[in-house]
Amino acid sequence: MDRELLRTVKLATKNHAGVLFRRAVRHLPHIVAVTALVAAAPRLSTLLTAAVGGGGMGWARVVPCTALFVYNCACQYVHENTYALVVSTENITLNAYMGNNRPMLVTNTLFRVGGAAILLSNRAADRRRAKYQLIHTVRTHRGAHDQSFGCVTQEEDDAGEVGVSLSKELMVVAGEALKTNITTLGPLVLPISEQLRFLATVVLKKVFRADVKAYLPDFKLALDHFCIHAGGRGVLDELEKSLKLSPWDMEPSRMTLYRFGNTSSSSLWYELAYCEAKGRIKRGDRVWQIAFGSGFKCNSAVWKALRTVDAAGLAPGDNPWMKEVDMLPVDVPKVAPIDESSYQIPN
């Protein structure tokens, strides 16, 4: 059974999640489905259950845009010595907006169809062939705040057209969620020196009422690669500035947004695949995945590379970037002229 699973998961990298529906999922006791921005009917969990014929434990947890929380659930609650399959998708075709409300048109331009399948194992025997080990997960949910709760909503416009509306406060909300998240994550990953600097500024502000700027720890001292949810250029620009990241650090996220668009939770795996295709992943490296979702949620996962990924050994079907990785990165201007000659206006 193990050999068939590994062989099928390798195929899944080539054909995304579809090949898993009929073969490997029949051997998996736990299946975790992560749907798109807005869940479809029937939901992905229903389709997966039908695909496996009700086999295994038959449970599926659907959480839009929050795959990292699902990974944590899979690790905490599944039985010992077993597997869990996480299927992460985005299918914006279900929620294409046909109206003229500008805040609701943004999703039509950002989101794209994408998917990824990740096989998790808590079997000790799988460590020698696993690529990564999940070290930390931190989930932040700010739904109790009205501004956070209402910044991303599905609603009808004045003409009755249904779409997803993104409010102007989205960037502020995302920043607050990230701040709360890294406050919890920091003590888990940062060296003592950075923690002491951060604590010193807190004491100065809270105890001595000093007018000092809050100290933002240097996460590059503890983490080697950054896979930030490719939600949009504005989000990436703000995080690059806030976390003091370099263009090299932001390259996987920016190229994923450029090439594949916003594919919700699956974008994190396109970004990790980019790092692998570029030959960046070395044994012992730590990867920080940061995801955002409506609600508003911010989730972090830290993975440790258990082996070096040889980019030269990756076949075109093993990684979605292999056919064009040598041409990347490219410069993406903020404003680009539209070539009107490439469009034909219908009579």
CB 143 within 8 A of CB 149: yes
> Does residue 63 surpass a pLDDT of 60?
no
Q: Which residue has the higher pLDDT, 87 or 5?
A: 87
Domains contained in the chain, CATH given: 2-126 (3.40.47.10), 132-327 (3.40.47.10)
> Does residue 13 surpass a pLDDT of 50?
no
pLDDT score for 62: 35
- Report the C-alpha gap between 182 and 217 in whole angstroms: 9
**Average pLDDT for residues 183-195, to the nearest whole number?**
92
- Report the C-alpha gap between 135 and 284 in whole angstroms: 12
CB 28 within 8 A of CB 97: no
For the ranges 55-69, 166-180, 201-215, 224-238, the lowest mean pLDDT is seen at 55-69
DSSP-assigned letter for residue 266: G
**Average pLDDT for residues 55-64, to the nearest whole number?**
38
**Average pLDDT for residues 146-161, to the nearest whole number?**
89
pLDDT classification of 39: cutoffs 50, 70, 90: low
- Report the C-alpha gap between 322 and 324 in whole angstroms: 6
pLDDT score for 26: 57
**Average pLDDT for residues 290-306, to the nearest whole number?**
91
For the ranges 77-86, 241-250, 272-281, the lowest mean pLDDT is seen at 77-86
CB 183 within 8 A of CB 142: no
Q: Which residue has the higher pLDDT, 337 or 104?
A: 104
Using DSSP, state whether 180 is helix, strand or coil: helix
> Does residue 38 surpass a pLDDT of 70?
no
Active site residue ranges = 65, 141, 225, 229, 262
**Average pLDDT for residues 124-152, to the nearest whole number?**
90
pLDDT score for 56: 39
pLDDT classification of 14: cutoffs 50, 70, 90: very low
- % of the chain exceeding 70 in pLDDT: 74
Q: Which residue has the higher pLDDT, 51 or 280?
A: 280
Which among 90-94, 124-128, 130-134, 282-286 has the top mean pLDDT?
282-286
> Does residue 90 surpass a pLDDT of 70?
yes
- Report the C-alpha gap between 183 and 68 in whole angstroms: 17
- Report the C-alpha gap between 239 and 220 in whole angstroms: 14
Q: Which residue has the higher pLDDT, 119 or 22?
A: 119
Which among 125-129, 151-155, 169-173, 247-251 has the top mean pLDDT?
247-251
> Does residue 314 surpass a pLDDT of 60?
yes
